[in-house]
Amino acid sequence: MRKEGWWLTLLFVALLGAMAATPLIERPPALRTHSGAAEFNEVRARARLATILGDQRPHPADSEAGDLVRGRLIAQLQQMGLKPIVRDQFACNELYKQRGVSCARVRNVLAVLGPPDGKALLLNAHYDSTSVGPGAADDGIGVATLLEVAAILKVRTLKRPVILLFNEGEELGLVGARAFLADPLSRNIDSLINLEARGVRGPVNMFETSRPNAAPIGVFARAVKGPVANSLSTDVYRLLPNYTDVNSF
């Protein structure tokens, strides 16, 4: 093997080692079992997940089980004093990494917090699952996390509007996210945080951004204590035949 080949091999091994070591370097903080209403509580979030999933049946978009999950989701929002909005739409989405168009009836659930004016922040997670699993990780934990965040924001004074989007149809081809683009609430958004599954353990990893991403990466680094991200994983993800809702927004 030529000298250049050895260097490339060593570089590749070093990068793999760095990625493997990331969870060890940035372990999640210890589980908090006691915290006030204005702080994130992992125990509450897990309880919300159990409530949302109910009997843990698969709940794909536009299914009876999906209707039950949506009902429990709406009840959680109402218990916080929020006024959830349900958008019943038929939408289609064409994905650039694969052939064909995905169409479905979807019911997106929305809630709005903060002042009525100003550029809004969109917080998004999808509540549908595949047809073969309950979707606890993908994306039930994202939904539960977003519910816990909503409870925190509800008791705080916000400087800008925050829109919560619990979309349906992600597993069918990001259909719910595409449907939201036709929603009047989508017209005044300037930033997005999408909660999506990538594994079931370890730290929260920011693995995908819009492009160009210098500005959002800077905001992320300043706002998050112990941020975990990897530019290599971001580039590799773009080569894979996978999507998240970010690809539709």
Using CA atoms, how far apart are residues 174 and 116, in angstroms rounded to an integer?
28
pLDDT band at 100 (very low <50, low <70, confident <90, very high): confident
For residue 237, tell me if it sits in a domain: no
Mean pLDDT over 74-92 rounds to 97
Task: Name the region of 118 (left: φ>0; alpha: ψ -120 to 50; beta: rest).
Answer: left
Consecutive H or E run containing 79:
helix 64-79
Known catalytic residue at 39: no
Residue 244: its pLDDT value, please?
A: 84
For residue 7, tell me if it sits in a domain: no
Packing angle of the helix pair 42-53, 64-79 (nearest 10 deg): 140
Residues 116/4, Cβ–Cβ less than 8 Å: no
According to DSSP, residue 105 is labeled E
Convert the pLDDT of each residue in 123-155 to its tens digit: 999 999 999 999 999 999 999 999 999 999 999
Convert the pLDDT of each residue in 188-203 to its tens digit: 999 999 999 877 777 7
Using CA atoms, how far apart are residues 7 and 12, in angstroms rounded to an integer?
9
**Per-residue pLDDT for 230 more than 80?**
no
Convert the pLDDT of each residue in 54-68 to its tens digit: 999 999 999 999 999
Tokens (6 digits) for 218: 């800077």
Using CA atoms, how far apart are residues 176 and 90, in angstroms rounded to an integer?
9
Residue 228: its pLDDT value, please?
A: 83
Mean pLDDT over 25-42 rounds to 69
Q: What is the chain's length?
A: 249
Range of the domain at 135: 30-198
SS3 92: strand
Total domains in the chain come to 1
SS3 68: helix
Task: Name the region of 65 (left: φ>0; alpha: ψ -120 to 50; beta: rest).
Answer: alpha
Residue 240 CB burial class (10 angstroms; 0-12, 13-18, ≥19): exposed
For residue 82, tell me if it sits in a domain: yes
CATH number (domain holding residue 167) = 3.40.630.10
pLDDT band at 34 (very low <50, low <70, confident <90, very high): low
For residue 214, tell me if it sits in a domain: no
The one catalytic residue in 168, 170, 171, 196 is 170
pTM of the shown model: 0.85
Using CA atoms, how far apart are residues 66 and 107, in angstroms rounded to an integer?
10
